[in-house]
Amino acid sequence: MDTELLLAIAILAGAGVVIAFERRFDAARARAAAAAAAAAKVVVVKVPESVPQLERIAKYDRPLDAALARESLGKVTGTDAELTVELADLWRGLALIKRELLRLGVPRDTRLEFVQNGVQVADSVMHLYLEPGQRYRVIKAFTDHDRDAHPEGEEWTFLRSAFVPYHSGMSWFVSFDGVQETHIRMQSTPEEQGPVLDNLADYLVAV
């Protein structure tokens, strides 16, 4: 077998390997894209405000999209009749959406609709999700379950929370100085701290 024939066979064999590799790469990329799409969570924001669509897009949609992009949490995907958002991380994304929309001045009865564990959920923009590592300031005084007062201007870093369904108890673990951990106990019933927890944006702001 002459040299030219051997070279041609080697070239064809190499091309076959490259084609097979590209096909496997394309298939893996398609699977990754499909998995990412399946993992994305869609949130529909219902803003009860009678403003022209273009005005709403400039006022809420574009600033929210920019905020989501900065944190790599998602994007605004629908700016027609409703504001639709696609999130990579549902809970962190919801916290950012609420914080940003409140900063932009949405009405307090704005609602966010999404699916959680197969169940349709309608959530108030006033019901904040506290983010670990985020520092908060009290903007309206409240009293916790232990009757400890939390005055306006108080600041602490939120560390984590724990919920006790049996007693409707909510525990916040925070740090005032970045070193020592403090336990703030709340109870999510109407006669206790339920009104505070349901309208947390009236009481706390991220700083």
Q: What is the pLDDT averaged over residues 125-145?
A: 93
Q: Give the residue from 107, 101, 196, 181 showing the smallest Cα distance to 144.
A: 196
Task: Map tokens 């696609």 to a residue.
Answer: 86
Q: Which range of residues forms the domain containing residue 198? A: 135-206
Q: Does the pLDDT at position 117 exceed 90?
A: no
Q: Are residues 45 and 98 in the same domain?
A: yes
Interval 160-175: pLDDT, tens: 999 877 778 999 999 9
Q: Does the pLDDT at position 187 exceed 90?
A: yes
> Buried b / exposed e across 113-130, counting CB within 10 Å, b at 16+?
ebeeeeeeeebbbbebbb
pTM for this entry: 0.66
Q: Are residues 49 and 108 in the same domain?
A: yes
Q: Are residues 112 and 168 in the same domain?
A: no
User: pLDDT averaged over the chain?
Assistant: 84
Q: Which two tokens stand for residue 23?
A: 């096909």
CA distance 167 to 178: 29
Does an H or E element contain 205, and which?
strand 204-206
Query: CA-based Rg of the chain, rounded to a whole angstrom?
Result: 25
Identify the CATH number of the domain in which residue 62 sits. 3.30.70.100
C-alpha distance from residue 22 to each of 9, 12, 25, 118, 170 (Å)? 20, 15, 5, 37, 52
Count how many Cα atoms sit within 13 Å of the Cα of residue 116 in the half-sphere of its side chain.
Answer: 10
Number of domains in the chain: 3
Q: Does the pLDDT at position 112 exceed 50?
A: yes
Interval 42-60: pLDDT, tens: 999 999 988 888 898 999 9
Q: Are residues 45 and 120 in the same domain?
A: yes
Q: Are residues 163 and 104 in the same domain?
A: no
Q: Does the pLDDT at position 17 exceed 60?
A: no
Interval 82-110: pLDDT, tens: 899 999 998 889 989 999 999 999 999 99
Per-residue pLDDT band for 1 (boundaries 50, 70, 90) equals: low
**Residue 128 near residue 95 (C-beta atoms within 8 A):** yes
The pLDDT value given to residue 129? 84
Per-residue pLDDT band for 34 (boundaries 50, 70, 90) equals: very low
E-strand spans in 71-191?
Answer: 74-79, 83-87, 111-116, 119-124, 135-138, 142-143, 149-150, 155-164, 169-175, 182-187
Residue type for position 184: I
Q: Are residues 113 and 164 in the same domain?
A: no
